[in-house]
Structure 1
Amino acid sequence: MAQLSKISFSNGLFAEAIQLETSTSMAFVLQRLGLEGQHPALVLIGGASKMSAVNLKRLEKLFVEVLAPIAQKWQAVVIDGGTDAGVMRLIGQARHATHANFPLVGIVPCGLAALPDQIATSSDAAPLEPHHTHFLLVPGSNWGDETVLMDDLASAVAGSASVTILVNGGEITWKEASQSVEADRPIIVIAGTGRTADILAAALHGNSEDERAASLAASGLVRAIDLDTGTETLAAMIDDIFAAKS
C-alpha cells in the first residue's frame, strides 16, 4: 500500500505526500488527492537548475500574469517535477503571489527528493518546492523516472482537456514532450527561453536538423509562442484547449 504523509515546510505551509509503489492504482492516487472527476490539466515541463538567472527573471511575468491566473480560472490541476528550481519554483511562487488555490502536484523520484529536516540520501537530491499542494514520490533514483507518472496523472485527471507547456529544457524534456504527443496532448512551446524550447520552435519553421524536434513538429500537436510578444496568445490558446474539451 502507498504510504501517506504530510510534509511541513519552513514557510509554514504543508503538502500531502504519497509515496507510491509500482502497483499503486491511479484511482487510489486521484482519491487521495481529492481529484476524482474531470479537471483540466496543465503539465509544465522544461528547465530546472540549468536555467539562467536572466531567463528566470524574464519568465516571472509569464507565470504570474498568465499561467497561474489561467490555472486558477479553470481550477486546472498543474503537474510538474516538484523540485525547488526553474519552472517548478516559478509556478509555486506565482501560485503564492496570486493567492491562487488550484492544485499543484509535484512528481519526484523518491530517491532524489530532499525532504525538509531529513538528510538527503543522494548527492543529486533536490529540495521540494514549498508552495506545492501535493507530492507524488515515485519509485526511482534517477531524474526522468517521474516522467511516465506525470503523463499518466494528466491523462487520468483530465481526460482530453489537457495541455503541456514547454519552457527551456534539457534531455529529459525531449522524453516528456514525446510522451505528451503519444498521449495526444497539445504542447505549447515558449520560444525565446533557450535550449529544447528554441530548438523545437525552430523546427516548427523548418529550421532545425534535430530529428527529435522534426518528429515532434510533424505531429501537428506542437505550437509556439514568443516569450516577449506572445503573452495574450498563450492565454487564448489554453482557454481554447480547455473550452473545446470541457
Structure 2
Amino acid sequence: MSEHSDVAATLTRMGIDVGRAVVVVIGGAGGMSDDAADGLTDVVRDGVLPAVERHGATVIDGGTDSGVMRLIGRARAAAGATFLLVGVAAEGTVTVPGGQAAQDDAAALEPHHTHVILVPGTQWGDESSWIAKVAGAVAGGEPSVTVLVNGGPIAFDDATRSVADGRSLLVVAGSGRAADAIADARTSGGGERNAVTIAASPFTEIVALDDPAAVAAAVSGALERQEAGR
C-alpha cells in the first residue's frame, strides 16, 4: 500500500470486512522484556480476547512477532478464536517470510495474524499513522477502542493519534513504561508532557493490569457506549 487513499482498496482486495467494531492494540514490542511479557499474558488472554470475541471485533496492531503483538497472536491461536487479526507494519522494518531483511533490526512477522498490511517506511513508528488510518477504515463508523499495554516512545505517538481521532483509549496501569507513565500522570497531574496530555484527554480511561475481568468490561463498555450514542 503506497498511499493513505489506497486503504479501502487494499482492505477489499485482502478480504478484510469493513463496518466492524475495531480494537486497536498498541504498546510494548521489541523493547519489552520477556519477564514483562510473561506478566501480561493474563490481561491479553482473559481481558482483551473475551471482549473482542463478544463484539465480533477486528483487532489491529503492528504485526511483529514481539511484545504485545506476539501475545495477542498466540492467545488467539490457543483459544481457537476466529476474529480477524490485522498487522500493519512498515515494510522496511520487517522480514517477510522467504525475503531478505531490509535492515539489521528488522523483526519477523507474528505468524498467527490473519492479515498483514505492509506500508511505506524504514523506521519504527512509520506505521503509526497507517494503523490509525486502517482502524478508521475497517470500523467505517462502527465503534472502536484502543488498548495500550506497556509501550515505549512510539506508544505515546500511537496513543496521541487515538485520542486525536476521538477513539477511546484504555491504558493498562501496571503493565509498565508508557502505560504506567500515563496512569501516573492521571493520578498526579504531572510527569512527561506527552503522558500528561494523553492522561488529561476525556477519551482516556485507566484500567488495572491485575483485573482482567475489569479490562474486558472496559473494552466492552467503550464499544457499547459508542454504539448507544450513535
The TM-score range, normalised by the shorter chain, is: over 0.9
- Residue 83 (structure 1) aligns with: 64
- Residue 213 (structure 2) aligns with: 232
SS of the equivalent of 1:25 reads helix
Provide TM-score, normalisation by structure 1: 0.87
Q: How does 1:38-187 map to 2 (within 5 A)?
A: 38-158=19-139, 159-187=141-169
Answer yes or no: is the 8 Å Cα contact 2:163–2:203 preserved in 1: yes
- Residue 193 (structure 2) aligns with: 211
Tell me which amino acid in the other structure corresponds to 1:99: G
Quote the offset at 1:148 in angstroms: 0.6
Return 175-184 or 112-121, whichever deviates more.
112-121
Answer yes or no: is the 8 Å Cα contact 2:208–2:215 preserved in 1: no
CA distance in 1, matches of 2:6, 2:104: 30
Structure 1: unaligned runs, 5 residues or longer:
1-19
Answer yes or no: is the 8 Å Cα contact 2:208–2:214 preserved in 1: no
- Residue 222 (structure 1) aligns with: 204
More helix by share: 2
CA distance in 2, matches of 1:171, 1:23: 23
Answer yes or no: is the 8 Å Cα contact 1:69–1:98 preserved in 2: no
CA distance in 2, matches of 1:23, 1:193: 32
Tell me which amino acid in the other structure corresponds to 2:113: H
Answer yes or no: is the 8 Å Cα contact 1:204–1:223 preserved in 2: no
Tell me which amino acid in the other structure corresponds to 2:208: D
Ranked by relative contact order (alpha carbons within 8 Å, sequence separation 6 or more), the top structure is: 2
Quote the offset at 1:23 in angstroms: 6.0
Answer yes or no: is the 8 Å Cα contact 1:114–1:126 preserved in 2: yes
State, as a whole percentage, how many aligned pairs show the same letter: 41
Give CA deviations for 1:60-92 in whole Å, capped at 9, x if unaligned. Answer: 112122212221221211011100000000000
Tell me which amino acid in the other structure corresponds to 1:171: P
Moved over 6 A (4+): none
Q: What RMSD over aligned residues (CA atoms) do the two structures have, in Å?
A: 1.5
Structure 2: unaligned runs, 5 residues or longer:
none
SS of the equivalent of 1:220 reads coil
Quote the offset at 1:225 in angstroms: 1.3
CA distance in 1, matches of 2:111, 2:169: 26
CA distance in 1, matches of 2:172, 2:99: 36
Quote the offset at 1:156 in angstroms: 1.6
Give CA deviations for 1:117-136 in whole Å, capped at 9, x if unaligned. Answer: 22212112110000000011
